[in-house]
Structure 1
Amino acid sequence: MTRPEQELDILEKISLILGEGLELNEVFQHAMNVLVDQMGIKQASLTLWDDVTEQMRIIAAVGLSPEEMAKGRYALGEGITGQVIKSGEPRIIADISQDQDFLNRTGREHLIDENDKRPISYICVPVKGETAYTGTISIDKTYTDELTLAADARLLTIIAGSFAQTIRLHQIVKVEKDQLIEQNERLRDNLGKRYHFDNIIGSSPAMEEVLGIVSQVATSRATALLLGETGVGKEMIAKAIHYNSPRKDKPLIRINCGALSPQLLESELFGHVKGAFTGAVKDKTGRFEAADGGSIFLDEIGTMDPQLQVKLLRVLQEREFERVGDHHSVKVDVRLIAATNLDLEEAVHSGDFREDLYYRLNVVTINIPPLRNRREDIPRLIDFFLDRFNKENSRNLRRMSREILNTLLRYPWPGNVRELENCIERAVVLSSSDEFTDDLLPLQIRMFAQQVRGTGSSESLETTAGRLAEQAIREYEMNEGQIYEIVVNQVERALITEALEHPGGVKTRAADFLGINRNTLNKKVKDLGIEADG
């Protein structure tokens, strides 16, 4: 092969390598290996200017150890490398043992070829950035003749020109990657602050109890089971658990188990291999694998198909699973947070939910109260949603009459916090001034207010309590010293009896309805002599 043919072959091979999109170090090594094979070079190095240290440093090399690379640092104008970057002109050293500018900074042992005792030659060419020279490419090879060295330098200069574009692209990608990492760190920090316990609205006794449990379970790796009606904020509590846990820097993956068919849900949770089923045209990573090291939030877990429940049970027990269509186990370290608005105990009794899975999930159960059981939080929630949606929609809805506030405080909120959120967002979007008027309320809330006014039962809970207190004192004035206990017991007995009848006598639902835990309910039922099933 003639010299021109050899050079064309080298350039063609290196251009293909540059198009492979590998890491810069790998690209350089692969390209220099071509020169090792066809030109007999012994060492090669790529140096780039470091703005932090204000030095040239070796970032990729062939024939150098990591320790030798670490020694390769040069100030501007220092040694051959520093002079080339300063002048922008290539340097050819026929015999490095005779050149005073060759610093041997990397500490090579032999400055002549050990086999035939010929000198070692050195070529260093500049790599030009957009506006200035930003690096060098250098090679060592056994001396042949001056013409060959000159031809090698011209070829290396062409290769350096190709590398310049590759280096620029890699630097652009690195900057963008660093920006993404920084942005992700800011987002994680913001999420951590957003879901910190101090920023969750809930000063009512019912929510303080919930947040107390959440703060304890967050720092553990225990499975958490969130129970509560639709819209109470189960996802918010799941995020609070994750972002206040040691896993906060790892992913939190959410999936709604009730939104997908059993086959699709299995593929989403555990992934699949190509050809596992019709439409599986390539391998797919499942949510459990994506959540490795972090947490997975399975919403509406009560709707999960029984066959999938078996597979989920294995993940909880053994922390491993198989992708759909695969026989190889995948090990994961995932913290499970599950949620449902169903009565899982009842589902176990009816055979719709596996008992063994229920006990695996029921490590730490958190009952999230409905909004009607935490009415003290409604004013703060209203203020929070007004601030948020005013900012998002460039509105200034602020003034709310006492009558409208009372309506919102007494409305039963079957959709819970989510319904209140939608109510306030609707009002802000439709507002044309800063005054919150009746017509901004949804129809069902306006009808509720009219119904209350129409039946004459607009008496507030506070007024009702005052009237009942006066009546109790009149009726029990002969029982001085016992009035409080008698009246409170009667009110509790009536309230608990009504609550037990309201959801069909199931204590778990009654406890949720009242905003107390089941143990407290059981004790009161026993102390007050109330007849109750279950």
Structure 2
Amino acid sequence: MSRAYILVVDDEPDIRNLVKEILQDESYEVAMAEDGKSARQALRDRRPELILLDIWMPDVDGITLLKEWGENEGLPCPVIMMSGHGTVETAVEATRLGAYDFLEKPLSLAKLLLTVNRALEAEQLKQENVGLKRHVHAVHEPTGRSPVMQRLREQVKRIAQHDTWVLVTGEPGSGRETLARYLHSQSVRRDRPFVEVNVSSIVKGNAAQELFGSESDGRIHYGRLEQAVGGTLFLDEVADMDLEAQSQLVGALDTARFLRVGGTEPVTIDVRIIAATQHNLEEAVQEGTFREDLFYHLNVVPLHVPPLREHAEDVPELLNFYVDWYVTHEKLPYRHFNVGAQNTLRNHPWHGNVRELKNLVQRLLILGAGNEISQEEVEAALGAPDVGTSLGGLESLVTFDQPLRQAREEFEKVYLEYQLRQHEGNISRMAKEVGMERTHLYRKLKSLEIEFKDKR
């Protein structure tokens, strides 16, 4: 399995080799560069997860390289500076430019290993926090004690032990992403990145750059495949990928190598692919909108997430799970569903599946009062009238007695759901109406967990 990949840049061969031996003894994968030129080449060859960078080198100093690498998108990974003749001013400048830490030579081996471990752990936590900000829940086991959910969990645990690619199918809101994250957490790649690509939100024609990255004038943008190295790449709504990007992805999967956009040297990848879709890819293959060879690449192990209506006996447990989650993570007041409310919800059709249930729980905790959620309150929430264009139409769904951020999110959700209905799912027309670029609108709908299917 892929290990953390560290680049050591130092013009002194003895130091390079010593550091390499020490890191390899700790099971790290190590590459070396003797000057700025070879360091730049090493970054083109492969994205490191940590760089140990000397300051004084014959062709270019480490501070200049640090500044160069940090332009535009920021440093590609944590950088630890090393120097035997550093000053306080140099250390301050390196920190200002984004260096994680500064080590003085002669190196203390214990301090070197401690700093490397801390830098890698800090980067992992940073990526996890980014993921948690995008997704309002942490990784958790798919909820439910019904036979169908028990079988699904056992199936995922078995599949996770084998490094095969997986195709997850299921209706919108059924929990495909939850399943993918859970599968990753059970696999041998659990300590490596989980990188999500929402294919439907990529601007047409930009999929190649998003997936494979790009090179221009010596500057490198690492795509999602390289960001996921050693871990899992989750391709959500893979059926929406354009044919050109599909062709390039097939080539990358066939050879485990690819070229960045504008690049000339191949990059090697080690990544597990989990793809998800609400569509029937076999039909898409017959219609010519999805490549047959890519379908067979992705469909090594199929997993189907059942709609909530097929395991309605899990509704009470799901209600309790999301009540506890919102109370713990968003500090909403605790309320419990009485028996009548639970019975009503067990018989609800749940066209929006688990996502609809989750949003209902959040709305009832925010807008309701009292410890108990009654059947009448649930029926009123389920039968809420369509949002009008006046303030009066919003007052039943948005309360003013809450922090501004939550009120704004509630309003945006209600407003965009209304616009989505008014334009019958046509995102292009809707974007013009609300005054947003289509790409930004896709992201906003995704962040608010509003289910949609573009009907252009």
- After superposition, give the CA deviation of every residue in 1:485-512 in whole Å (9 maximum; x if it has no partner): xxxxxxxxxxxxxxxxxxxxxxxxxxxx
Counterparts of 2:15 and 2:116 in 1: how far apart (Å)? 24
- Counterpart in 1 of 2:320? 383
Residue 353 (structure 1) aligned with residue 290 (structure 2) = yes
- After superposition, give the CA deviation of every residue in 1:432-476 in whole Å (9 maximum; x if it has no partner): 32121457548661369xxxxxxxxxxxxxxxxxxxxxxxxxxxx
Offset of residue 164 of structure 1: 6.1
Out of 144, 161, 170, the position equivalent to 2:102 is 170
- Contact residue 225 and residue 338 of structure 1 kept, 8 A: yes
Offset of residue 373 of structure 1: 0.6
- After superposition, give the CA deviation of every residue in 1:394-419 in whole Å (9 maximum; x if it has no partner): 34333322221111111111111111
Residue 258 (structure 1) aligned with residue 200 (structure 2) = yes
Counterparts of 2:379 and 2:347 in 1: how far apart (Å)? 15
SS at match of 1:273: strand
Which letter does structure 1 place at the counterpart of 2:209? S
Offset of residue 327 of structure 1: 3.0
- Counterpart in 2 of 1:249? 191
Which letter does structure 2 place at the counterpart of 1:351? G
Offset of residue 203 of structure 1: 1.7
- After superposition, give the CA deviation of every residue in 1:126-147 in whole Å (9 maximum; x if it has no partner): xxxxxxxxxxxxxxxxxxxxxx
Out of 144, 154, 164, the position equivalent to 1:212 is 154
Counterparts of 1:356 and 1:66 in 2: how far apart (Å)? 47
Query: Relative to structure 1, is the Cα distance of residues 377 and 187 closer, same or farther in structure 2, using a 3 angstrom cutoff?
Result: farther
Higher radius of gyration, 1 or 2:
1
Out of 323, 335, 341, the position equivalent to 1:398 is 335
SS at match of 1:357: helix
Offset of residue 315 of structure 1: 1.8
Counterparts of 2:171 and 2:381 in 1: how far apart (Å)? 19
Offset of residue 189 of structure 1: 11
Which letter does structure 2 place at the counterpart of 1:229? E
Query: Relative to structure 1, is the Cα distance of residues 443 and 343 closer, same or farther in structure 2, using a 3 angstrom cutoff?
Result: farther
Counterparts of 1:409 and 1:313 in 2: how far apart (Å)? 43
Residue 364 (structure 1) aligned with residue 301 (structure 2) = yes
Counterparts of 1:406 and 1:239 in 2: how far apart (Å)? 30
Residue 334 (structure 1) aligned with residue 271 (structure 2) = yes
Name the Cα RMSD after superposition. 3.9
SS at match of 2:252: helix
Which letter does structure 2 place at the counterpart of 1:391? T
Counterparts of 1:271 and 1:184 in 2: how far apart (Å)? 20
Offset of residue 204 of structure 1: 1.3
Query: Relative to structure 1, is the Cα distance of residues 401 and 316 closer, same or farther in structure 2, using a 3 angstrom cutoff?
Result: same
Residue 287 (structure 1) aligned with residue 224 (structure 2) = yes
Which letter does structure 2 place at the counterpart of 1:261? V
Percent of paired sites with the same residue: 33
Offset of residue 309 of structure 1: 1.1
Counterparts of 2:252 and 2:85 in 1: how far apart (Å)? 54
SS at match of 1:374: helix
Which letter does structure 1 place at the counterpart of 2:319? I
- Counterpart in 1 of 2:56? none
Counterparts of 1:259 and 1:66 in 2: how far apart (Å)? 46
Residue 272 (structure 1) aligned with residue 272 (structure 2) = no
SS at match of 1:283: strand
Out of 169, 177, 180, the position equivalent to 1:238 is 180
TM-score calculated relative to the size of structure 2? 0.56
Counterparts of 2:379 and 2:119 in 1: how far apart (Å)? 42
Counterparts of 1:440 and 1:180 in 2: how far apart (Å)? 50
- After superposition, give the CA deviation of every residue in 1:339-370 in whole Å (9 maximum; x if it has no partner): 00001111112111112211121110001001
Offset of residue 186 of structure 1: 7.4
- Contact residue 341 and residue 376 of structure 2 kept, 8 A: no
Which letter does structure 2 place at the counterpart of 1:257? V
SS at match of 1:333: coil
Counterparts of 2:213 and 2:202 in 1: how far apart (Å)? 14
Query: Relative to structure 1, is the Cα distance of residues 227 and 378 closer, same or farther in structure 2, using a 3 angstrom cutoff?
Result: same
Gaps of at least 5 residues in structure 2 are: 1-6, 23-82, 93-100, 105-110, 132-137, 386-456
Which letter does structure 2 place at the counterpart of 1:340? T
Gaps of at least 5 residues in structure 1 are: 1-21, 31-59, 71-158, 276-280, 449-534
Higher relative contact order (CA 8 A, sep 6+): 2
Query: Relative to structure 1, is the Cα distance of residues 443 and 165 closer, same or farther in structure 2, using a 3 angstrom cutoff?
Result: same
Which letter does structure 1 place at the counterpart of 2:178? M
SS at match of 1:337: strand
TM-score calculated relative to the size of structure 1? 0.49
Query: Relative to structure 1, is the Cα distance of residues 406 and 268 closer, same or farther in structure 2, using a 3 angstrom cutoff?
Result: same
User: Structure 2 matches for 1:134-145, cutoff 5 A?
Assistant: none
Query: Relative to structure 1, is the Cα distance of residues 288 and 167 closer, same or farther in structure 2, using a 3 angstrom cutoff?
Result: closer
- Counterpart in 2 of 1:229? 171
Residue 431 (structure 1) aligned with residue 363 (structure 2) = no
Aligned length: 295
Out of 251, 260, 280, the position equivalent to 1:314 is 251
